[in-house]
Each structure stands twice: as C-alpha cells, then as structure tokens.
C-alpha cells in the first residue's frame, strides 16, 4: 500500500524521519511517495503551498501523512494546512488525548486517567476565512455552519464513538448565543443521536465544558465541536495530557484523509534534533489503524508507552534531573522496546482485519444538499449601512426609502437594538443594521429587495445585504438583542 508523505517545515523533517524509521524497523507494509508541500513550495511560487504533482499524487493515493508546515507571513497566502483539510473535504478532525504513563501531569499525579476524543468539524465555521471590512472601523467575518457539512461530521463522530464503545458522546456549542448557527450544529447532533440509542448523548455549553474539562476530565469520552471551539478545546485537552508533544490528529474525509500532529513547526528548536516525535508517531499509529494495520499499531504503541514509562524523554517533558534523549535516541529506544508491554495502558490488537479499500476516484464535485422541504419565502432584508448619525436620524432616512412594500422594523448597532427603543448609553460604531420586513408579512421578490437597496443607497452607503427568509412558519434569521 502506498501513501503520500510530506515531511513539512521546521522540525517536520526530523520527526518524520524518526517516525518512518520506527515504521520501517517494525516492517510496516507501507510504501511512501514523497510529495512537495510546505513553505519552500510557496517560496518557489506555488500559491497554495503544493506542487500540481503533489496534489495529483495525494488525490490518487487518498492518504497523506504530513509534518507541520509553515505559512509564509505577510504574503497574503492561506495556510497550507487549512487549505489541504478544506480542499479535500476532510470534514472530521479526530484528536485523541490519553494519559501516558511517564508523562507527568497534574491529573496523572492525582491518579485521574484521561481518555478524551475530540471530534472537531474541520471545514466550516469562521475557517472559511471570508472576511471583509464593512467600513474603515468595522470588520465582519462570515461564519458558515451547514446542515450537510455538520451531518457528515456527526455521522462520523457517532459511528466512531459506537465502534469504540464510548461511555458518552457530548456536543460542545454556544447555541445559547448563536442560536441559528450553533443551533443547527446541535440539531444535527441530536438528529444523528436518534440512530444510536445505545450511546449516552448530551450537550454542554462550551465555556462550561472548558471548566469541567479542567476539573473532571475523566467524565468525558467523545466530544464533538464546531471548528473554532474544537480548535481551542483540543489544545486545552493537549494541556491535560502533557502538552502539544502528545497531541495527534487525524483529518478524516470520504476520499482523502490526512494524518498529522497538532503542533506546528517549532522554529525555536528546528534543526537541533531535539524535538519530541510522539505526537507525529501517535498520528501515524492512527493512520495504521485507519488502513487496518492494527497489529503493527499495537506493537509500536506498546513500545512507545513502555519507553515513556521507563523514563526516556525528550527535552520538552519528563524528569529534568535525567538527561534528555534527542529525537534519534528517542526513536531508537522505541525500536529497542518492540515486543514489550507497558505496566499501564497497554493496548491490544483489536482490529477487524478488514483490508483498506481506497475510495473510488470521482470526476465531479459531490453536491451536498439536504432534502428538507418546507415552503420558502423572502419576507424582508437586513441592510448593513455606513452611517455616523444618531439612530433616529437614520430611521427617518430609512422610512423615506421604505416605499409601499416595506416597513422599517428595527435598527441595531453591533447587534444591539437602538431604534425604535434603546438606551443612549449604547455606544455606536459607524455601521448599522437596518431591518425591513414586508408590510403585510407576505412574500417578497428578490427584485423588491434590489429596488429597496437602490432607494436606500441614495441616502446612505449600503455595505451589504442579507435576505430574511421564512421556512414554513419558522423565521430563518435571528432577532436583534432587545427586539
């Protein structure tokens, strides 16, 4: 079986070499096709950080094992890591955080075991990077949460939790504030939960989740989160088990999957052969299990755990009174310990031996569209306008522009209602949202909204417009705070 390998930047080549050496010593039956990705590829003029040949190889092989990569600063290019995950629709980012005997933490010293799997949605949320300045003072980021995208990650999370006999699956979210976006994420969670009645499924607001993770991490098993919250919570979990050096990551998609460590290129220690290869090794072991090489994964993981247990450590962790092994020596110690079982946390060969079948090639973009059918009507529009006048003055202008079809409903500033009621103590910025709805609550045409846009634009600058939809009897937009 052939997989694509990108060594990465900074410490990437050192830790990748160590991991591949461990695989070779264990006679892992994989062949590696090295691909060109990373900072140096940006520097050669490839704007997405990979050569066309690399892209072709990865799409053909379906599996990429990658080292960390640096995104050049100040060149207006997007992160190669995020681009790779998004381009190939690796919708579920699985990060397993488990106590490793020999890696001391507050919890290991207190005898509290940790075994938490974070499943982070990997494509959507604010990671679309769709950002605009609406005025010179006001920046806006669009946050996408989609039903089909969320369903993909929920299905993966529940299936994985079920296979690993998880005691609990929790959804972390902020649906109390972001009722529509995180509300949709949560709705999909409970929709898929119905198909897994044997799993205890619950939800928790993300701030409460953070507090509980640092007080009772042993209460959690699988936790699924939107992209940004998942990113933050997974670094928190890395801290619980000893830091980024122990945080592996698998980006799972239907056609292509990417395995990498959570940490970055560690430029401060690059080229010194002192980096800890454990996170990349654990990511590689997740890849071996993904392709059905369970026995190799178990042997190597037991050797790693035995090595840690016996006190061998790199400079970033462990007993400061004993000399640190360098990257090469750490890998050597693991190789010497093949066949040994750690006293704590030994893993057994639990594979189903199903040989890995790469997904068939496709020649068109899959269109993800849900089949929910409800009547759909445009009932108004939110116009985001640039204005530095008082709300009442803006309201007078907008009422002038409303015409026969629209009535002015509210004006808000930074999401807080300032007209028709409000408080003069609400500070204003020079950008308002003005909500118009149809006079009789009836349905409008797009052309009506365009005509309204034009009338308003003669009076104030319109920065952007959002249609207000109604699906059946349900409003498909949020109310302003105080409305």
Which residues make up the interface to ligand NAI (CB under 6 A)? 11, 68-71, 81, 244-245, 260, 263-269, 275-276, 279, 316
Instruction: Decide whether 182 or 316 has the Cβ nearer to ligand NAI.
Output: 316
In whole angstroms, the minimum distance from the beta carbon of 266 to ligand NAI comes to 4
In whole angstroms, the minimum distance from the beta carbon of 280 to ligand NAI comes to 7
Instruction: Decide whether 75 or 365 has the Cβ nearer to ligand NAI.
Output: 75
Instruction: Decide whether 181 or 251 has the Cβ nearer to ligand NAI.
Output: 251
Instruction: Decide whether 38 or 217 has the Cβ nearer to ligand NAI.
Output: 38
In whole angstroms, the minimum distance from the beta carbon of 212 to ligand NAI comes to 26
In whole angstroms, the minimum distance from the beta carbon of 281 to ligand NAI comes to 10
Beta strand pairing call for 115-121 and 92-98: antiparallel
Both tokens assigned to 368: 């993800």
Q: Is 49 left (phi over 0), alpha (psi -120 to 50) or beta?
A: left
Instruction: Decide whether 57 or 278 has the Cβ nearer to ligand NAI.
Output: 278
Instruction: Decide whether 125 or 260 has the Cβ nearer to ligand NAI.
Output: 260
In whole angstroms, the minimum distance from the beta carbon of 9 to ligand NAI comes to 8
In whole angstroms, the minimum distance from the beta carbon of 52 to ligand NAI comes to 21
Instruction: Decide whether 275 or 418 has the Cβ nearer to ligand NAI.
Output: 275
In whole angstroms, the minimum distance from the beta carbon of 315 to ligand NAI comes to 7
Instruction: Decide whether 1 or 77 has the Cβ nearer to ligand NAI.
Output: 77
In whole angstroms, the minimum distance from the beta carbon of 257 to ligand NAI comes to 15
In whole angstroms, the minimum distance from the beta carbon of 15 to ligand NAI comes to 6
Instruction: Decide whether 317 or 406 has the Cβ nearer to ligand NAI.
Output: 317
Instruction: Decide whether 268 or 348 has the Cβ nearer to ligand NAI.
Output: 268
In whole angstroms, the minimum distance from the beta carbon of 113 to ligand NAI comes to 23
Instruction: Decide whether 73 or 354 has the Cβ nearer to ligand NAI.
Output: 73
408: buried, middle or exposed (CB in 10 Å: 19+, 13-18, 0-12)?
Answer: buried
Nearest position to ligand NAI, beta carbon: 264
Q: Residue 92: name the closest of 20, 4, 192 by CA.
A: 192
Instruction: Decide whether 275 or 395 has the Cβ nearer to ligand NAI.
Output: 275
Distance, CA of 178 to CA of 172 (rounded, Å): 13
In whole angstroms, the minimum distance from the beta carbon of 159 to ligand NAI comes to 25
Three-state SS sequence of the chain: CEEEEECCCCCHHHHHHHHHHHHHHCCCCCEEEECCECHHHHHCCCCCCECHHHHHHHHHHCEEEECCCCCCCCCCCCCHHHHHHHHCCCCEEEEEEECCCCCCCHHHHCCCCCEEEEEEECCCEHHHCCEEECCCCCEEECCECCHHHHHHHHHHHHHHHHHCCCCCEEEEECCCCCCCHHHHHHHHHHHHHCCCCCCCEEEEEHHHHHHHHHHCHHHCCEEEECHHHHHHHHHHHHHHCCCHHHCEEEEECCCCEEEEECCCCCCCCCCCCCCCCHHHHHHHHHHHHHCCCHHHHHHHHHHHHHHHHCCCCCCCCCCCCCCCCCHHHHHHHHHHCCCCCCCCCCCCCCCCCCCCCCCCCCCCCCCCCCCCCCCEEEEEEEEEEECCCCHHHHHHHHHHHCCCCEEEEEEEECCEEEECCCCCCCCCCCEEEEEEEECCCCCECHHHHHHHHHHHHCCCEEEEEEEEEEECCEECCCCCECC
In whole angstroms, the minimum distance from the beta carbon of 227 to ligand NAI comes to 14
User: Starting at the edge strand that comes first in sequence, how are the strands of the sheet with 416-419 ordered?
Assistant: 416-419, 406-413, 431-438, 376-386, 461-471, 474-475
Taking a C-beta distance cutoff of 8 angstroms, is the pair 193, 199 a contact?
A: yes
């Amino acid at each position: 079986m052939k997989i694509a390998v990108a060594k990465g930047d900074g410490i990437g080549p050192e830790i990748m070499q160590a991991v591949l050496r461990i695989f070779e010593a264990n006679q892992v039956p994989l062949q590696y096709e090295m691909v060109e990705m990373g900072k140096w590829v940006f520097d050669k003029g490839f704007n997405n950080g990979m050569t066309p040949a690399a892209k072709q190889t990865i799409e053909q092989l379906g599996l990429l094992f990658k080292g960390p990569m640096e995104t050049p600063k100040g060149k207006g290019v997007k992160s190669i890591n995020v681009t790779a995950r998004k381009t190939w629709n690796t919708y579920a980012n699985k990060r397993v955080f488990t106590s490793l005997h020999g890696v001391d933490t507050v919890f290991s010293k207190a005898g509290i075991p940790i075994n938490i799997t974070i499943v982070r949605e990997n494509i959507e949320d604010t990671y679309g990077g769709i950002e605009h300045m609406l005025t010179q003072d006001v920046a806006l980021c669009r946050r996408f949460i989609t039903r089909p995208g969320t369903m993909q990650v929920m299905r993966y999370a529940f299936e994985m939790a079920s296979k690993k006999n998880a005691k609990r699956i929790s959804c972390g979210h902020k649906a109390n504030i972001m009722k529509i976006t995180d509300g949709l994420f949560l709705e999909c969670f409970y929709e898929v939960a119905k198909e897994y009645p044997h799993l205890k499924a619950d939800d928790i607001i993300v701030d409460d989740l953070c507090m509980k993770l640092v007080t009772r991490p042993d209460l959690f098993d699988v936790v699924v989160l939107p992209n940004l919250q998942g990113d933050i919570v997974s670094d928190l979990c890395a801290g619980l088990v000893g830091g980024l050096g122990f945080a592996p990551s698998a980006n799972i998609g239907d056609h292509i999957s990417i395995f990498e460590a959570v940490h970055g290129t560690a430029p401060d220690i690059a080229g010194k052969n002192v980096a800890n290869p454990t996170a990349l090794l654990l990511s590689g072991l997740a890849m071996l299990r993904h392709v059905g090489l369970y026995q190799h994964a178990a042997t190597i993981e037991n050797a790693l755990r035995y090595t840690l247990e016996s006190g061998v450590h790199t400079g970033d962790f462990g007993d400061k009174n004993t000399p640190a092994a360098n990257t090469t020596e750490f890998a050597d110690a693991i190789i010497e310990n093949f066949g040994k079982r750690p006293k704590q946390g030994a893993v057994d060969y639990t594979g189903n031996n199903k040989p890995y079948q790469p997904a068939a090639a496709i020649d068109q973009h899959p269109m993800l569209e849900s089949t929910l059918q409800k009547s759909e009507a445009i009932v108004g529009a939110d116009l985001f306008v640039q204005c530095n006048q008082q709300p009442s003055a803006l309201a007078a202008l907008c009422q002038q522009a409303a015409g026969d079809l629209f009535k002015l409903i509210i004006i808000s500033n930074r999401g807080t209602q300032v007209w028709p009621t409000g408080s003069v103590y609400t500070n204003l910025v020079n950008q308002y949202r003005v909500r118009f709805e149809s006079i009789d609550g009836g349905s409008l045409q797009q052309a009506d909204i365009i005509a309204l846009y034009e009338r308003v634009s003669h009076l104030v600058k319109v920065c952007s417009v959002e249609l207000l939809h109604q699906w059946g009897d349900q409003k498909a937009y949020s109310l302003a705070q105080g409305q």
